[in-house]
Amino acid sequence: MGYRQGHQGDIGQGRLRADFGKRVSLPQEQELKARCPDFATRREAMEKIGFIGLGRMGKSMALNLRKAGFDLLVLDINPQAAQELVAAGAIQARDVAELARACGIVITMLPSSKEVEAVVLGEDGVLAHARAGALIMDMSTIDPLATDRLHALATAQDLHWVDAPVGRLAEHADRGESLFMVGAGDAQFQRVKPLLEAMGTTIYHCGPVGSGGRTKLVNNFVAVSLCQINGEALALSQRFGLDITKTLQVLYGTSATNGQLRMNFPNKVLIGRTEPGFTIDLAHKDMSLVLAAAHASRVPMPVAAAVHESFSLARAAEFGGQDFSCIADALCQLAHIDPARVPEGWKPG
């Protein structure tokens, strides 16, 4: 689904407004009401929210919006992903076009720039069907230059853009304790702030559109690099034959400690839990974005390059779908040593 160049260039502003208004037709609204009779009466003054992308993080975020009472239309490439939300009172949209027509705010939470651009720019995408004045909040971690392009295209069609990628782990999203890095104009930030408050506990307005995603790349460079360093340290400790719990206690008690080692590793790789909160594949993708952005800005990042290639090795060894803390297991496998594991029931002091 490609972006139709004539959709922006051939239509004057007044006609564009009328075109969007025409798409939000009475029969379409009546169809939604028929599928969910209380759709129009629940919290009528509140903007209807569309949420696209119900993966490990997105589903929890959408559920927290619904718990807070927001009228919600949801959509995922896997229709089964929406069932828990439908049970909580959300409506499952048939497609992006239906969702965009019905909602004043559309949220995307997708794996990469490719998926975001397909959903937003496609012939049946958000830009082709959203009404004038609608706001798109992309919460994905994508190429900042893609954010800049999408923002420009949205603005040309009298739509607003916000980038608000997510910090912290999937478990935090489950509990409504996420952190958000927001790039937005002041008015748009105020418009989305109640939604962010429903999904998380910490909100940083980092600056104009594009600032959120760029801040996220800086954050993820540090987080993924620390994951790599922790993995190497644990592999070395295993080679030395050290007691893993004593080694961790020392690390926790010095300036070597870090949030990944204290919060994520003991609940994931160190107890043999490989199911992802954040996969090695996604960590590799984010490091690719970091390097691309650094190259474009002429900033040398030799550590990022080394970490990126280590995660490439882990993916080649079929660790890609595992939690990114499992880089420790990948390194142990590469060194032909047993993976580091703490005793059952052990907790950081």
* pLDDT, tens digit (0-9, with 9 covering 90-100), for 96-121: 999 999 999 999 999 999 999 999 99
In sequence order, the 6+-apart residues with CB closer than 8 A to the CB of 161 are: 135, 136, 137, 138, 147, 150, 151, 154, 155, 188, 209
% of the chain with per-residue pLDDT over 90: 85
Q: Residue 226 pLDDT > 60, yes or no? A: yes
Tell me, what DSSP letter sits at residue 263? I
pLDDT average, residue stretch 152-162: 98
pLDDT of the residue at 17: 26
Rounded distance, CA 221 to CA 226, Å?
Answer: 8
Confidence (pLDDT) at 31: 55
Alpha helices, DSSP H, located in 159-279: 170-174, 186-199, 211-240, 244-252, 259
Q: Supply the pLDDT for residue 138.
A: 98
pLDDT of 73 strictly over 50: yes
Confidence (pLDDT) at 196: 98
Instruction: Provide the pLDDT for residue 349.
Output: 76
Cα–Cα dist 272/228, whole Å = 17
The pLDDT tens digits for 191-218 are 999 999 999 999 999 999 999 999 999 9
Any idea which residues carry the catalytic annotation? 216
Question: In a 3-state reduction of DSSP, which class is residue 323?
Answer: strand
Contacts of 222 (CB under 8 A, 6+ apart): none
* Cβ proximity of 158 and 183 under 8 Å: no
| Cα four-point dihedral sign 76, 292, 149, 46 | positive
Does pLDDT of 58 surpass 90? Answer: yes
Instruction: Give the pLDDT mean for 156-164.
Output: 98
Residue 62 near residue 82 (C-beta atoms within 8 A):
no
Q: How many residues does the chain have?
A: 349
**Average pLDDT of the chain, as a whole number:** 89
Classify residue 227 as exposed, middle or buried by CB count within 10 Å of its CB (0-12, 13-18, 19+): buried
- pLDDT above 90 (res 301): yes
- Mean pLDDT on 42-48: 60
Task: Specify the pairing of strand 166-167 against strand 135-138.
Answer: unpaired
**What is d(CA 22, CA 26) in angstroms, rounded to the nearest whole number?**
9
Is the CB of residue 183 less than 8 Å from the CB of residue 211? yes
117 vs 149: CA distance, rounded Å: 10
Residue 295's pLDDT is what? 97
pLDDT digits (tens, 9 = 90+) for 3-44: 222 322 322 222 222 222 333 344 545 555 554 554 444 444
Where do we find the tokens 């929406």?
82
**Taking 60 as the threshold, does the pLDDT of residue 81 lie above it?**
yes
Question: How confident is the model at residue 30, as a pLDDT?
Answer: 55
pLDDT surpassing 90 at residue 223? yes
Name the pTM for this structure.
0.84
pLDDT of residue 169: 87
Each residue's pLDDT tens digit, 271-291: 999 999 899 999 999 999 999
Distance (Å, rounded) from C-alpha 340 to C-alpha 145? Answer: 40
